[in-house]
Amino acid sequence: MFSPMAEVRRLQARAAVKVLRKRSYDGALAPRRSMGWSRGASANGSISPALAKLRDHARDLVRNTPMARVPDVLAAHIVGTGIVPTSRTGKRAIDKKVNALFAEWQKQAIVSGDVDFYGSQALVVRAMVEGGEALVRYLPRSSDSTLPVPLHLRLMEGDQLDESKSGIPGRSSGGTATLGIEFDADGQRTGYWVRKAHPGDPVTLMGSLDSVFVPARDIAHIYRPLRIGQVRGVSWFAPILLTARDLADYMEATLVKARVESCFAGFVESADVGMPANLASATRASAETRRGPEALELSPGMMTRLEPGEKVTFAQPSSSTSFEAYTLNAAMSVAAGAGITYDQFTGDLRQANYSSLRAGKIEFRALVRQIQHHLIIPRYCQPTWDRFIECAILSGTLKQRPGGYPVTWIAPGFEPIDPKKDLEADILAVRSGRMTWDEFVAEWGNDPIEQLDAIARINEAFDERGITLDIDPRKVTATGAAQSANSPEKSDSSKKQDEQDAAD
């Protein structure tokens, strides 16, 4: 009012503030709706206070709700009956020997003896999904052990990592410990502080919860890192714990409500104030004088008497129209948060068709492949193979080779949604060069080398007996026409390979 120029500057400043606010992120502002958002913290800073509670709550859900299906579905697709190693030294005889040795050792690999190596893969995935992480400790044995290769594996849950060992100096110069894991000055893992027993074990001896330091090379730590710098795993149920618990409670409350309503078919009011409501009421009244009050008992379809007056009023149970809509949307949210499809979580295939199933499975299979090749194989399978080969060489079972013992891991194949359509698509992919024949066979969970050996063995058996089937592409075309009657001769390279195998 007294200084027009001051008003102009004030209006200019307000306009500039409005422009700056429009240029910023709305999600970064502080309206009332965002007041409950937490402040930023490092990955380990967020995990540290919540690690144990998230793990316990997730396990309770799996024990007591339909969420038990989630770890089963993920384990069935990620590892199936096992991710199988295949030696790839280039020497067929050596590869067969190594594969046979591993197949024999894996049956006794787990020190507890309750599962074999392939069964342990499923346990590791389940532990990772429920509790966020799993540990495997490598235990080399003496050379006179009865094991085919002197090596045992001990499976442990993440509870046995001593998270109290955090924020303290490490054993190495400049190293630190974070949530039970030690790092050197460069940030490389040097070891783990492992409790001697599970902290939830009902029988624990004095000192069994003390932790011991185990070098990093003797531990396989399997978890899914979600942020850079994250050193411990978080339960995969963390984003959906509240939604899943609410869904389970809502379904239980709806069931209890329906059961209670079914217990009241009608009511009889009596004008005789001296008459008890019913015989059961009189019996309870006399019993209460002797033993005290008892809990009310209800049974479906029961009739009861009320005072005063006497008339029959039939019960009209209320109905809820929101039950199916809520459970449907909640189940879809839970399935999406768990990384599986709605039909895998609920088994509901009422409105499913080939297109919808395939669209959902494509994304799910991409997630499964990522977990297989970024978690299970590099963090568990390959370290196990390396220790297996190392112990086999040290015990004299295998010889030292300049090129070592390379390996290829064959993951289980995906079940086709429509076998005919999926197979035709794979055939076109191989014929067009989009994938090789080896990749095609591996996609179905088979070892290409073993597949070739099996085909050669079967073809030889057919030829020896003079049998020709219409599935033999050497002699019958896809349309049923006869091929050339001459069997193909072995190529020079195949003959040379046979000679080399014999020499090996």
pLDDT digits (tens, 9 = 90+) for 411-462: 998 888 888 888 888 889 998 998 898 888 888 888 888 888 888 888 888 8
CB burial string 134-153: b at 16+ within 10 A, e below: bbbbbebeeeeeebbbbbbb
> CA 411 from chain center: how many Å?
15
Whether residue 327 contacts residue 251, with contact meaning beta carbons closer than 8 Å, is answered with yes
The answer as to whether 165 is a domain residue is no
Query: What type of residue sits at position 206?
Result: M
Residues 6 or more apart whose Cβ sits within 8 Å of residue 219: 135, 136, 137, 138, 191, 192, 194
The answer as to whether 210 is a domain residue is no
Q: Confidence class of residue 20 from pLDDT cuts 50, 70 and 90?
A: low
pTM, full prediction: 0.78
The answer as to whether 5 is a domain residue is no
The answer as to whether 100 is a domain residue is yes
The answer as to whether 491 is a domain residue is no
CA separation for the pair 289, 281 (Å, rounded):
13
Per residue in 61-88, pLDDT tens? 999 988 889 999 999 999 999 999 999 9
Q: Domain tally for the chain?
A: 1
The answer as to whether 278 is a domain residue is no
The answer as to whether 283 is a domain residue is no
pLDDT of residue 231: 94
pLDDT of residue 62: 92
78-87, 208-217, 259-268, 358-367, range with the lowest pLDDT: 259-268
pLDDT of residue 232: 94
pLDDT of residue 217: 94
Averaged pLDDT for residues 190-207: 83
Residue with tokens 């963090």, as numbered in its chain:
379
Higher pLDDT pick, 7 / 163: 163
What's the mean pLDDT when you consider all of the chain?
Answer: 83
**Full domain range(s) for residue 130:** 43-158+217-236
The answer as to whether 305 is a domain residue is no
